[in-house]
Amino acid sequence: MSDTGSSTSSQHPRLELKGITKAYPGVLANDHIDLKVLPGEIHALLGENGAGKSTLVKIIYGALKADAGTIRWNGNLIDIANPHAARKLGIGMIFQHFSLFEAMTVTENIALSMPGRQNMAKLSKRIVEISENYGLPLQPNRHVHTLSVGEKQRIEIVRCLLQNPKLLIMDEPTSVLTPQEADKMFLTLRRLSEEGVSILYISHKLDEIKALCHKATILRGGKYISECDPTVETAKSLAEMMIGTDLKAPKHDNTKERGQVRLKVHNLNMDSNDQFGVNLNLINFEVRSGEILGIAGVAGNGQVELLEALSGEALCKIPEAILFENKPIGDLGPSQRRKQGIAFVPEDRLGHGSVPEMSLVENAFLSAYGQKQLISNGFIDTKKTKQFAKEIVENFDVRTSGVSHAANSLSGGNLQKFIVGREMLQDPQLIIIAHPTWGVDAGAAASIHQAIIDLAAKGTAVLVVSQDLDELFAISNRMAVIAEGRLSVGRSVQELSIEEIGLLMGGTSKSDSQKEFESVA
């Protein structure tokens, strides 16, 4: 940490936490955690799901109240009553789950978080300036509910940057960016750091942390484990500190013969229901038994529409556009597609893949009642459903104090494991997974990846849509890229480099890669 900003205020850390403790019903989320962030320091916060990272940063941001412990800001003991007070101090936060009003525009959302009255026209202009400056394109007049996850995150980042923060908290900010965009953002972050802005950086991408951060604090199971210098640690040693055991990379065999075609999508065209949505344009691909096809792309390029078309939440006019085991399914609804042996893991865990206020038992029933025969004589078989929920929790290592707890009481990664487990235990012939490890830590991600690979090894066809290229490279056999509603030709991962994919993700850049989008009709 030799290059960390100004030396004048270095006697006082920008932020110092001592003994922060926070209990939830059944779980001690933070158990006497200490943390020290110096001015201009990029400080990584590392830990598994449920390690207490999200809770800790919410306390710093005033969104949660600690049960015990003290917070010092530039050496002064303070009480951060609410996010407004935090922002006043100069703390900006980019949440993993967004805090945006869906029915309002980008500008209105940003104006809401700024003190005092705003000149909306001027603000729009500044938003465009900042967003272009940092490579985060945004249309200020669009309504938030029409935006994809990636675009929503851009609002959060721009919103923070507009307020000239002294401490920026970022919860996995690069998970929705292309490698090129991420590199661009690192430049920005380093510049901010040189200007004296401290950054508290949460990520599970260890290489990223090694490249970017000056210091790292590691949490495990709600406890403070250690503080270290990530530049001298290896990715492996960091991961081991974080998980406490040796890290297993997903094992898979790329040489195996692929089976027959399970899913074939042929010249799929689809107009989005949403005026700001992306229309699907001549999509062609197939997924074979035992194969994992990865679809990469920056959020908002037609992933949502493609997933809806595949799950049956949006129906195709031409049933033959989607063939499952040579039978047209384009006009079938989600339950009928499930009946044929297709399972889905949607992008949004809370509210799409699960009902947040309902118990895990009810959420187990949600999509599995048909396949697992959880209805007998017209009545819900509560005992069998409970058993199924317990089976998911045990087989997929979901950490919860019981299956009667609500889905929204679980941490993001644990809920994701639950949803993935629910779909996988239905023995699908084809499983379609959107962003399997978005916002999930290394330990849980590794176990989800291994589960996907094991399922494919048993002969299931797997389609993974993700923005995390490392993930797709680690698990896919073949990869394709979606950009502006069109899909490139799927190619074996051995033939591809991250750079090539990055260029394809750019989409509009008129390069040789344009040929990739020619249809294979």
Partner 1 sequence: MLLKIEKRPEASQLMVYATPIFALILTILTGSFLFHFLGVDPVEGLRNFFIKPIDNTYGATELLVKATPLILCAIGLSVGFRANVWNIGAEGQLTMGAIFGGGVFVYFHDVDSVFLLPMMIVMGAIGGALWAAIPAFLKTRFNANEILTSLMLVYVALLVLSLLVHGSWRDPDGFNFPESRLFSDSATMPILIEGTRLHFGTIIALFAVLGTWIMLSKTLIGFQVKVIGAAPKAGGYAGFSQKKIIWFSLLFGGAMAGLAGVSEVSGPVGQLLPSISPGYGFTAIIVAFLGRLHPVGIIFAGLLMALTYLGGETAQINLGLPVAVTGVFQGMVLFYLLACDVLVNFRIRFTLFGRAAS
As measured in angstroms, the least distance from the Cβ of 13 to partner 1 is 16
> How many helices and strands in the chain, by DSSP H and E?
16, 23
Least CB distance to partner 1 at residue 429 (A): 17
174 vs 134: CA distance, rounded Å: 13
Q: Which two tokens stand for residue 55?
A: 């809770």
If one asks whether residue 336 binds partner 1 (CB under 8 A), the answer comes out as: yes
Is residue 67 near partner 1 by the rule CB under 8 A?
Answer: yes
Give the E-state strand segments of 229-279 in sequence order.
Answer: 261-270
Stretch that binds partner 1, among 225-233, 268-276, 353-361, 486-494 (CB under 8 A): 353-361
What 3-state class would DSSP assign to 273? coil
Q: Which residue stretch of 139-147, 205-213, 232-240, 402-410 sits at the interface with partner 1 (rule: CB under 8 A)?
A: 402-410
Q: Which letter, b or e, does each residue of 116-132 get, where b requires 16 or more Cβ atoms within 10 Å of its Cβ?
A: eebeeeebbebbbebbe
Applying the rule CB under 8 A, the residues between 372 and 401 that interact with partner 1 are 375, 378-380, 382
Alpha-helical segments (H) within 61-205: 83-89, 106-112, 120-133, 149-161, 179-194
- Tell me: does residue 25 bind partner 1 (CB under 8 A): yes
CB of 488 to partner 1, least distance (A): 27
Q: Is 120 helix (H, G, I), strand (E, B) or coil?
A: helix
Kindly tell me which residue out of 95, 201, 224, 344 binds partner 1, with binding defined by CB under 8 A: 344
Q: How far is the CB of 74 from partner 1 (least distance, A)?
A: 15
Contact between residue 351 and residue 434 where contact means Cβ atoms under 8 Å apart: no
Residue from 335, 509, 514, 519 in contact with partner 1 (CB under 8 A):
335
Phi/psi at 165 (5° precision) = -75, 155
Using DSSP bridges, classify how beta strands 91-94 and 261-270 pair: parallel, antiparallel or unpaired: unpaired
Nearer to partner 1, 120 or 350 (CB): 350
| Under rule CB under 8 A, residue 33 binds partner 1 | no
Binding-site member from 36, 352, 384, 491 for partner 1 (CB under 8 A): 352
Residue 402: left if φ>0, alpha if ψ -120 to 50, beta else—which one? Answer: left
**Residue 366 within binding range of partner 1, rule CB under 8 A:** yes
Contact present, 47 and 218 (Cβ < 8 Å):
yes
Q: Which is nearer to partner 1, 181 or 347 (CB)?
A: 347
CA distance 73 to 64: 17
Residue 377 C-beta: closest distance to partner 1, Å: 10
Q: How far apart are CA 212 and CA 46, in angstroms?
A: 13
Give the nearest distance from C-beta 100 to partner 1 in angstroms. 16
Q: Which residues contact 402 (CB under 8 A, 6 or more apart)?
A: 26
Identify which of residues 51 and 182 has a Cβ nearer to partner 1 in the complex. 51
Rounded Cα distance, 246 and 238, in Å: 11
Lookup: tokens for 399 = 């950490």
Nearer to partner 1, 78 or 225 (CB): 78
Rg (CA), the chain: 23
Cα dihedral 253, 255, 259, 264, rounded to 10, equals: 90
The DSSP secondary structure of 384-415, one letter per residue, reads: HHHHHHHHHHHHTT---S-TTSBGGGS-HHHH
In the bound state with partner 1, the residue whose beta carbon lies nearer, of 20 and 293, is 20
User: In the set 9, 69, 128, 473, which binds partner 1 (CB under 8 A)?
Assistant: 69
Beta bridge partners of 343: 431
> Of these, 222, 312, 439, 507, which contacts partner 1 (CB under 8 A)?
312
| For partner 1, the closer CB: 14 or 210 | 14
User: Minimum distance from CB of 474 to partner 1 (Å)?
Assistant: 27
Give the contact letters, 73-92, x = binds to partner 1 (CB under 8 A), - = no. Answer: ----xxxxx-----------
Taking the complex as a whole, the smallest distance from the CB of residue 498 to partner 1 amounts, in Å, to 32
Q: Which of residues 112-141 bind partner 1 (CB under 8 A)?
A: none
Separation of alpha carbons 108 and 1, rounded Å: 39
- Which of 279, 289, 283, 225 shows the shortest CA–CA distance to 258? 289
Residue 65 lies near partner 1 (rule: CB under 8 A):
yes
From 334, 371, 390, 429, residue interacting with partner 1 (rule: CB under 8 A): 334
66 is a site residue for partner 1 (CB under 8 A): yes
Count of residues touching partner 1 (by CB under 8 A): 49
Residue 362 in the binding site for partner 1 (CB under 8 A)? yes
Q: At what angle do helices 120-133 and 149-161 cross, to 10 degrees?
A: 110
Which residue stretch of 108-116, 234-242, 269-277, 331-339 sits at the interface with partner 1 (rule: CB under 8 A)?
Answer: 331-339
Q: Can you give the binding site for partner 1, defined by CB under 8 A?
A: 20, 24-25, 59, 65-71, 77-81, 311-313, 333-336, 338, 344, 346, 348, 351-358, 362, 365-367, 369, 375, 378-380, 382, 405-406, 408-409
